[in-house]
């Protein structure tokens, strides 16, 4: 079954890879993006791009009224844990305000399916071990809090209005399109893997390890890195599940890697040492976030293609070597 899908934030890192997956199966895709962090050339040919802002209510209504949408995939949001600790009200106002308005207008326009990009940052300082869908929601940052509010809103949107939703809680999205068309290009870049790769390539100063005194085996933070194309595939499978009702899935590889292990992986894949130094902890960073992703595997048949950290790093390395300046625009 092919669908007509509206993708907010479809010019961003995860959104653009989801658009690629939707196009590959023949869906009719429209991207709605203000290009504040996304890139025009990250929208693959085949998808339509509407440049617009979710805070522009007339623009949102115009695009939602433009025919019958089978689903809305909502990626567009501010997404940096560290930044949200410095600008809490900006994060809450933007992510919650825009998200609630979009959900409300989807209900108004009779759209039946909604997919929310949620996050592992919901879980704050979770106890050690893999985190399943029923773990307590205790955000450690305003960013995590903003997604927790939207998750709750979707519960009510289903109960009262019948809007079926898939809440996908990403752990650490990384890697790049295996066909080399898309990659990770944040400006400024704050994410670990691209910074480590650039340090290895000599394009940036040595990467700083934020904190070596965490309660983890090597003292550095542990994250569950998930390939962005595997994440994209999860959106298609979750959408199909909505015929059975709303779903919530934690999405990772059920394996954690420390910052030191990421540095070692890049050194292996790139075949060169990674210049690095050590810095204090970054506010808002939990010690460890590892997903228990059995539910989406069992219910929706999701299977990661790039589960190994070196495979994820390999695709990211290839894109950054081929695109020294990132996207052209």
Enumerate binding residues for ligand UFG (CB under 6 A). 79-81, 119-121, 171-172, 190-192, 195, 207-210, 221, 223, 259, 282, 285, 289
Task: Give 2 or 36: the residue with its C-beta nearer to ligand UFG.
Answer: 36
Minimum CB separation from ligand UFG for residue 295, in Å?
18
Beta-bridge partners for 114 = 72, 165
Minimum CB separation from ligand UFG for residue 274, in Å?
12
d(CA 265, CA 257) in angstroms, rounded, equals: 10
d(CA 185, CA 237) in angstroms, rounded, equals: 26
Contacts of 39 by beta carbon, 8 Å cutoff, 6+ apart: 11, 16, 185, 326, 327, 329
Length of the chain: 329
Asked about 143 being catalytic, the answer comes back as yes
Q: Do the Cβ atoms of 166 and 241 come closer than 8 Å?
A: yes
Minimum CB separation from ligand UFG for residue 66, in Å?
30
d(CA 95, CA 54) in angstroms, rounded, equals: 10
Task: Give 192 or 242: the residue with its C-beta nearer to ligand UFG.
Answer: 192
Q: Do the Cβ atoms of 291 and 250 come closer than 8 Å?
A: yes
Which residue, judged by CB position, is nearest to ligand UFG in the bound state? 221
The first and second tokens of residue 43, run together, are 């929208």
Task: Give 72 or 289: the residue with its C-beta nearer to ligand UFG.
Answer: 289
From the list 35, 171, 155, 170, the residue with the least C-alpha distance to 100 is 155
Task: Give 29 or 167: the residue with its C-beta nearer to ligand UFG.
Answer: 167
Exactly one of 91, 143, 170, 225 is catalytic; which is it?
A: 143
Task: Give 157 or 289: the residue with its C-beta nearer to ligand UFG.
Answer: 289
Minimum CB separation from ligand UFG for residue 111, in Å?
25
Task: Give 195 or 242: the residue with its C-beta nearer to ligand UFG.
Answer: 195
At which residue do the structure tokens 């070596």 appear?
Answer: 212
d(CA 302, CA 244) in angstroms, rounded, equals: 16
Minimum CB separation from ligand UFG for residue 154, in Å?
18
Minimum CB separation from ligand UFG for residue 83, in Å?
9
Contacts of 306 by beta carbon, 8 Å cutoff, 6+ apart: 175, 178, 227, 229, 230, 312, 315
Catalytic residue ranges? 143
């Amino acid at each position: 079954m092919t669908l007509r899908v509206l993708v907010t934030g479809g010019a961003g890192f995860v959104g653009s890879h989801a658009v690629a997956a939707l196009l590959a199966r023949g869906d009719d895709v429209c991207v709605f993006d203000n290009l504040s962090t996304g890139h025009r050339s990250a929208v693959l040919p085949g998808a339509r791009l509407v440049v617009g802002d979710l805070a522009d209510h007339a623009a949102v209504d115009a695009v939602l009224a433009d025919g019958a949408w089978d689903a809305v995939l909502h990626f567009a949001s501010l997404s940096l844990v560290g930044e949200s600790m410095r600008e809490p009200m900006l994060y809450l106002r933007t992510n919650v305000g825009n998200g609630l308005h979009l959900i409300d207008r989807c209900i108004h326009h009779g759209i039946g399916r909604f997919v929310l990009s949620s996050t592992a940052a919901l879980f704050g300082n979770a106890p050690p071990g893999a985190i399943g869908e029923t773990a307590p929601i205790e955000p450690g940052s305003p960013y995590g809090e903003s997604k927790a509010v939207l998750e709750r809103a979707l519960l009510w949107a289903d109960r009262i209005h019948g809007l079926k939703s898939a809440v996908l809680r990403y752990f650490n999205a990384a890697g790049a399109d295996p066909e080399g068309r898309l990659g990770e290009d944040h400006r400024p870049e704050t994410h670990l893997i691209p910074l480590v790769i650039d340090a290895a390539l000599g394009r940036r100063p040595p990467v700083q390890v934020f904190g070596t005194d965490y309660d983890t085996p090597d003292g550095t933070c542990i994250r569950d890195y998930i390939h962005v194309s595997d994440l994209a595939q999860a959106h298609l499978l979750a959408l199909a599940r909505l015929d059975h009702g709303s779903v919530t899935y934690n999405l990772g590889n059920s394996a954690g890697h420390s910052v030191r292990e990421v540095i070692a992986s890049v050194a292996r894949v790139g075949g060169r040492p990674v210049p690095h130094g050590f810095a204090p902890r970054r506010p808002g960073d939990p010690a460890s976030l590892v997903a228990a992703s059995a539910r989406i595997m069992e219910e929706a048949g999701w299977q990661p293609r790039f589960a190994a950290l070196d495979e994820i790093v390999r695709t990211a390395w290839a894109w950054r070597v081929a695109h020294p300046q990132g996207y052209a625009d």
